[in-house]
Structure 1
Amino acid sequence: MYSDADAAALYDLLNPWNPDTYRGDAFHHHLVMAAGSVLDVGCGTGSMLTYAREHGHRGRLVGLDPDRAALDRARRRTDIDWIEATAAESDTRTEGGFELAVMTGHAFQVLVTDEDLRASLQAIHAALAPGGRFVFETRHPQARAWLDWIPANAADVVDAADRPLRTWHDVESVDAGVVSFVETTADPDGTVLRVDRARLRFLDVAPLNGFLADAGFTVEAQYGDWQRGPITPTSREIVTVARR
């Protein structure tokens, strides 16, 4: 079997944080470095905040995630506060007053139900100082990114323990903007080691902005790519900067 700790380590290999290489990482990194206090909602293994600290950030950095195995990796860095909690719990666990809150890696899309989305946005709003900003990205539903989540696009990797692995995805359903899918981790011969199921919500611009307004946010800017281009009929991303 492939443990939660193994999976967290594999995530770091498959999703390295590198603003010099990835435009999305650079977009967030510049905002983080310019803010005196940052709340990373859905921080996972903590790569973004760790990178910021390593590159000179001296302010308050707090990472929030309900995944204990991921936080175990994040906590190797002891000069950052790591909190095991969901987004909806952030207002009672972080003490608030942040200049910036972020959700990277399309983590915003794990907020599947209206109830969870509203509670999470309200909590993030409460965690920000007046005038603070919430920055996140979500895949634009018009691009139908899930069409590429097929076994034919399997990835062959070698994990941190020097084990060759193959990972792939299978979409189970697409219903009212919610995509349910399976991620499989296996030996190269196909022997299954781990199966994880997940759901992601794909919101279009208008309903997304409605949820933000209901939570008290004002949309400051929205982009269709990481170069701050406008949202167009071919955009694959909705990159949002919202202000409390």
Structure 2
Amino acid sequence: STAGRYFCIPQENFAVETYSNDEVLNGFLDSSKMKPMYVILNDTKLIFKEFQTSNKGNQSPDLVRRLLIFFKTKPDPISSENYMDTILVLSVNESYLHSFYHALLDIFSPAILQGNVPEVRPSLASLFEKLEGEMRSTLFSTPRASDEINSIDDELLYWKTVEDSAHKKLNADVRKYLLNSMQYLSSQVKSFGTLSGSDVDDTLENIMNILDDVWKHDFKYPYHKMAKLLTIIGND
């Protein structure tokens, strides 16, 4: 039923009994040796499969946009008494790297490092920061890098870390200009919450001037990235 709700299967089209004889599902529930199981949607039917990595590393056999992974924290058969303590559920959208990066950045890193957990070692903070940086660099070097830009700070980090072929010839002066522009833009956008009256108008004018200068620069700032920046600023 968890998978049915996740994939938004209409209630009238979903019956738990339909899957009562599914070999993979029953193996996961009953076996102490069963590997993690993942679920994908085929039309309106759930497909259960044993999770396995391919020979190339961290990709599952089904390269789909969305899947739900179930795994056990204990090698026990599942019962109505222990399932909440034994089964964890993980959703994956787009890619494993994308999902892990955002889970680490938005949930696990702040929850662990800022949650006053006494057993957390100080060195863990630097490890998390390094891991986030490496993952961000990888994500920002992919063809879908713009999909990862959700804030002005993300755009700033993009120009700090991007290594894709489209920008390898970016000279040092242009890179410095873009970084300075994004840093100033970020500070202006963040100041909105503390301003009122004419200060808001002045800050908004500053923001528009920055964007206008960047757009008119000889570098030819990508249209889709400028559109994304305008959307981000509008939402903020």
Of structures 1 and 2, the one with the larger relative CO (CA 8 A, separation 6+) is: 1
Please state which structure has a larger fraction of its residues in helix. Answer: 2
Structure possessing the higher radius of gyration over alpha carbons: 2
Q: Normalized against structure 1, the TM-score is what?
A: 0.25
Q: TM-score of the superposition, structure 2-length normalised?
A: 0.25
